[in-house]
Chains A and B, each alone.
Chain A
Amino acid sequence: MIKITELQKYYRTEEVETIALNKLSIEVKEGEFVAIMGPSGCGKSTLLNILGLLDDPDGGSYLFNNIEVADFNERKRADLRKHNIGFVFQSFNLIDELTVFENVELPLIYTGVPSSERVGRVEKVLDKMQIMHRRNHYPQQLSGGQQQRVAVARAVVNNPKLILADEPTGNLDSSNGNEVMELLTDLNEQGTTIIMVTHSEHDARYSHRIIRLLDGQTVMENIMI
């Protein structure tokens, strides 16, 4: 599903050029659950951003479903992104002014789903995440675990093929964290590909495969299954 080859990314300031990704090559198959680990500054987040089409690489190739997307412009990337990729963040990133329902509904609005259809789909996914009873609450009224469940609901409402999770349990206590990991595992079992960046060995154990990065290069791959 995803194949990157010799991917490069630099960050330049006036004096220093930092290499974030150094000719990195990774392949992720459809239905996989991959964890990316590594110390701070090893390029995990940069990789995730490029995979999520939020950022563009400085070199190399990125095939998404066999289509070269490395040179896509902003509009094309946004289009591909909203139909195929869901995001889960460490800090949830829910919009405070919108209710739970409206937050989850947002991706459907952007992909142009008619309003009659939206209600059913949002309710279904809220039900699945067991937060239906909170549908009219605002994010600040929820616990961290609940907020992350809403974020996951929002990530999957469009039925994306790929979910990118950036330390999804980083802001949660262990029981809430485990719940979220269970959710992701369920989604994976239903066929969604998941790529997750994490610091937590515990969380990484939920995945099929761990890719360890150091200084923008793969240093080790652990197959968990």
Chain B
Amino acid sequence: MIRNYIKTAIRSLSKNKGFTAINVLGLSLGLAACLLIVFYVSDELGYDTYNKNIDNIYRVNTDVRFGGNEASYAVAPAPTAAALKTDFPEIEQAARFRVKGGFKVKKGNQNIQEDMMVYADPNIFDVFTLPMIYGNKANALKEPHTVVITERTAEKYFNSTNVVGRTLTFDDNTPYKVTGVIKNIPHQSHFNFDFFVAMPGLDESKEDMWFSNNFQTYILLKKGADADKLNAKLSSFMRHRAGPQLQSILHLTFDDFEKGGNYYRLNLTPLKKIHLYSNKLSEIDANGNIRYVYIFSAIAIFILLIACVNFMNLSTARSTNRAREVGVRKVLGSPRKYLIAQFLTESVIVTLAAAVIGLVMAWLFLAHFNQIAGKELTVTPQILGWLVPVLFAMVIIIGALAGSYPALFLSGFNPIEVLKGKLAAGFKGGRLRSFLVVFQFAISIFLIIGTLVIYNQLKYIQNRDLGYNRDHILLVKNVSTLGSSSQVFKQEIKQLTGVQNATLTSALPTGGFQSSTSFFKSPVPDQKNGILPQRWPIDADYIPTMGMKIISGRNFSDQMPTDSNSVIINETAARMLAFSNPVGAKMYEPEDNKMTRLKEYHIIGVVKDFNFKSLRENITPMFLMLEPNDGTLSIRFRSANIPALLAQVKNKWAQLSPNQEINYSFMDKDFDSIYRAEQRVGSIFMIFTTLAIIIACLGLFGLAAYATEQRTKEIGIRKVLGASLSTIIGMLSADFVKLVIIAICIASPVAWWAMNKWLQDFAYRANIQWWIVALAGAGAILIAFITISFQSIKAALANPVKSLRSE
């Protein structure tokens, strides 16, 4: 019996090659898209799962509200880890990271800049599962100036992995002893360091400072401990631990501090939620976003649904051609269940073929997809281990789902009517088919609107006046490695023809430089007159080089010795401080952590607000100080000949630092990288939208073919009676275009609502304009019309005599 099913199925499929091709192609495209998204989503969901204790590891965060600012940090004060361990017996381990940027590491006589570096507590290996291949993890990081490196780093510097006891030279002069080599960290990790430097070598780590948050702090709970209960106890912990310091600094009790509308508290993020749910300040790396996991999963399901709908629609549309066969089989005594089984076999065979092709397609596209999605997805035997059974289950489910309607529909035919050819008349009704076409196009239009909104927002970001000019700025990084020559370097660059100006500081609007301190309006610290602004060290060339505008007062000047006691604030700070005339007003900054001495600053200017964070966030108060910082040299150039300029800059660099490679970038590129996540989402959205539309159109193409075939005789008669080409095309297209218009009406409000939610993430956004919806709608109609035209023009041009005779 089953052999008979398969035989009939294969012959029927190969007889209708066009139909089969559309079905298989549509389904395999759908499956390929779906598979890529499944890879992506499973990768996103698999972060940090390499840790054996993932369920018991939590990160300690700090939430602060002070001086009108509210912020949530992924870091905690230095003493938190040890104090938590002392106070709460349910904590088995507490360990810290301190990210301090990179070092130059010597290899031969060459210095290599290494950024994947972190200071780590010795017990970090008890919290995270980082298997040590060489060395003793119990005391690897106990001594200052020791370092644990990854396998690949060991290979890179020593061409060997067994390198415990050997030495690496950091920053040209400090030797660090390698005390351990760990396995490379899986890429699905919220941190990916290559160098773990011993924390005991960092003085800052031993300070008892409760109002400075710099340490990524992780706790490992004992089995069975309740994290929620611990979370609840953390507020009294903070009150008890940080209260005394608050008293001595602000002369306030913790209660009074909180009564003033401020807070300072700790909370816990489970390790398994860091990658997808956490987006705080001072995250180690940019995390993923659960929302995109949901969005992409939904898109995958949608695309698959569109492909399945094609299958159902084409199969039922084709039913008139199959109807006779069903009738004959029924007359010959076939029970209905045999027929259902036969059609299901056919649809499972198509799905199976599509799955195989889809798998190959996904595999071929993977490299390209990785590039777009910024991922390193690979098809490994482990993946195939679960993928093949899942795919097989999907084939059965999709085959059954897509085949069920045709199977039930076709097998339900009344044999007498079928054999008399009565059924053809009943074909047009297909209300379900119309519904399915509307459904497909509604999804496609939703995706088109989504894509347009994302691109519109990205364009808005590109074109928005940010308060500074990011074009024509070359950034030379790690200038501090030049030491005392950094100023020389700056002056020499400024002399180059084609260079307009240059400024030396690592505090860049595109750089993610973060440094905030409290300032007070009076010499007696009081929370009511406090403000917590960003505090950036700049030089006198900074504002002109960046193209920022002073809106009142003046810029710093090297000629004014008092400017080291001056500050330039941004508009937002001026507004929050509520001075009638900020220029000339005084601000006080604590000089030590106990706030016993305060330094007085004069406000000499107000700079127009400029965006120094992502446009997702509002502009916060900013204080610019005239202080030396030689991290990066920003060079504003007017030269069109960038290669020549670069050559000159490289030349100067090489003269001052022959052993160190120059590290440079362009500010506009750095700016774009801030929005890389959105760019990626935009690209992925666009790809899958295109796919969805192609699949939907494939289906529409097939449906139009059958609809025209059904109406061949009608078209013939109309032509004989004198209908013009355009009337016939119009008549044939109208039915489908009507459905697309209904789809637009359904999809537009839903898309408008959903995309507005997405835009809420941006403090600065381009609202959805009517033309986006109009464009999406018009586009969908046009695409549908063109698709149908292939069929309708062919039918309309056909010789009517032929079509009449064929009946």
**Is A110's CB under 8 angstroms from B8's CB?**
no
Contact A97 B8 (CB under 8 A): yes
Sorting the interface of chain B by its residue count into under 10, 10 to 19, 20 to 34 or 35 or more gives 20 to 34
Query: Does the CB pair A106–B12 fall under 8 Å?
Result: no
Given contacts A82-B332, A89-B419, contact A109 B4 (CB under 8 A): yes
Q: How far is the CB of B60 from chain A (nearest CB, A)?
A: 69
B335 at interface by CB-CB < 8 Å:
yes
B4 → chain A, closest Cβ, in Å?
Answer: 6
Q: Which of B4, B325, B331, B338 contacts A54 (CB 8 A)?
A: B331
Find out whether the CB atom of B419 lies under 8 angstroms from the CB atom of A93: yes
> Cβ of A81 and Cβ of B416 under 8 Å apart?
no
B804 to chain A, nearest CB (A): 19
Residues of A within 8 A of B329 (CB): 95, 106, 110
Interface residues as binary, B173-184 with A (CB distance below 8 Å gives 1, 0 otherwise): 000000000000
A93 to chain B, nearest CB (A): 5
A215 interface residue per 8 A CB criterion: no
For residue B561, CB closer than 8 A to chain A, the reply is no
- Given contacts A52-B331, A95-B328, A95-B329, 10 further A-B pairs with CB under 8 A are A82-B332, A83-B333, A93-B327, A93-B328, A93-B331, A94-B328, A96-B15, A106-B332, A110-B335, A110-B338
Interface string of A74-102 (1 = CB under 8 A from B): 01001101110001010101111110001
Per-position 1/0 for B1-20, Cβ under 8 A of A:
10010011001100100000
**Using Cβ atoms and an 8 Å threshold, which residues of chain A touch B334?**
78, 106, 110
CA distance A89 to B12 in the complex (A): 22
One digit per residue, 1 when the CB lies within 8 angstroms of any chain A CB and 0 when it does not, for chain B 301-343 equals 0000000000000000000000011011111111100100000
Residues of A within 8 A of B4 (CB): 102, 109
Given A54-B416, A93-B324, verify A75-B335 contact (CB < 8 Å): yes
| Contacts known (A97-B12, A109-B4); A78 close to B333, Cβ less than 8 A | yes
Is B333's CB under 8 angstroms from A55's CB?
no
Contact flag A55-B416 (CB < 8 Å), given A82-B332, A93-B328, A109-B4: yes
16 A–B contacts from the bound complex (CB under 8 Å) = A54-B416, A55-B416, A81-B331, A81-B333, A93-B327, A95-B8, A95-B329, A97-B8, A97-B11, A97-B12, A98-B8, A98-B11, A106-B334, A109-B1, A110-B332, A111-B333
Please name the residue on chain A nearest to B321 by beta carbon: A96
Interface of A with B (CB < 8 Å)? 45, 49, 52, 54-55, 75, 78-79, 81-83, 87, 89, 91, 93-98, 102, 106-107, 109-111, 154
The answer to whether A97 and B325 have CB atoms under 8 Å apart is: yes
Shortest CB–CB separation between residue A164 and chain B, in angstroms?
A: 10
Chain B's nearest CB lies how many Å from the CB of A162? 13
Report if B406 contacts A (CB, 8 A).
no
In the complex, which of the residues B330, B331, B420 has the most CB atoms of chain A within 10 Å of its own CB atom? B331
CB of B415 closer than 8 Å to a CB of A:
yes
The B interface, classified by DSSP as helix, strand, loop or mixed, is helix
Contact, CB under 8 Å: B333 / A82: yes
Given A54-B416, A94-B328, residue A110 in contact with residue B333 (CB < 8 A): yes
A87, B419: Cα distance in complex, Å = 12
Complex formed: what's the CA distance from A78 to B329 in Å? 11
Residues of A within 8 A of B328 (CB): 93-95
Question: Given the known A-B contacts A94-B328, A95-B329, are A78 and B335 also in contact in the complex, defined by CB atoms under 8 Å?
Answer: yes
What CA separation (Å) do A207 and B76 show in the bound complex?
Answer: 103
The 9 A-B residue pairs with the shortest CB-CB distance in the complex, in nearest-first order: A82-B333, A97-B11, A110-B333, A93-B328, A107-B332, A97-B12, A95-B325, A54-B416, A49-B416
C-alpha spacing A83/B328, complex, angstroms: 15
Smallest beta-carbon distance A42→chain B, Å: 16
> Could you tell me the distance between the alpha carbons of A9 and B11 in the complex, rounded to whole angstroms?
40
Greatest chain A CB density within 10 A among B328, B334, B338, B420 is at: B328
> In the docked arrangement, what's the CA distance between A224 and B325, Å?
37
Nearest chain A CB to B722 CB, angstrom units: 32
Residues of A within 8 A of B332 (CB): 82, 87, 106-107, 110, 154
Q: Contacts of A87 on B, CB cut-off 8 Å?
A: 331-332
Q: How far is the CA of A107 from the CA of B328 in the complex (A)?
A: 10
CB-defined contacts of A111 to chain B, threshold 8 Å:
333
**Shortest Cβ gap from A119 to chain B (Å):** 14
Contact A107 B327 (CB under 8 A): no
Give the residues from 421 to 437 in chain B that come closer than 8 angstroms, CB to CB, to chain A: none
Within the complex, the shortest CB–CB distance from B443 to chain A, in Å, comes to 34
- A154 vs B331: C-alpha distance when bound (angstroms): 12
Min Cβ gap A201→B in Å is: 24
Cα distance A49–B4 in the bound complex, in angstroms: 28
Q: How far is the CA of A76 from the CA of B338 in the complex (A)?
A: 16
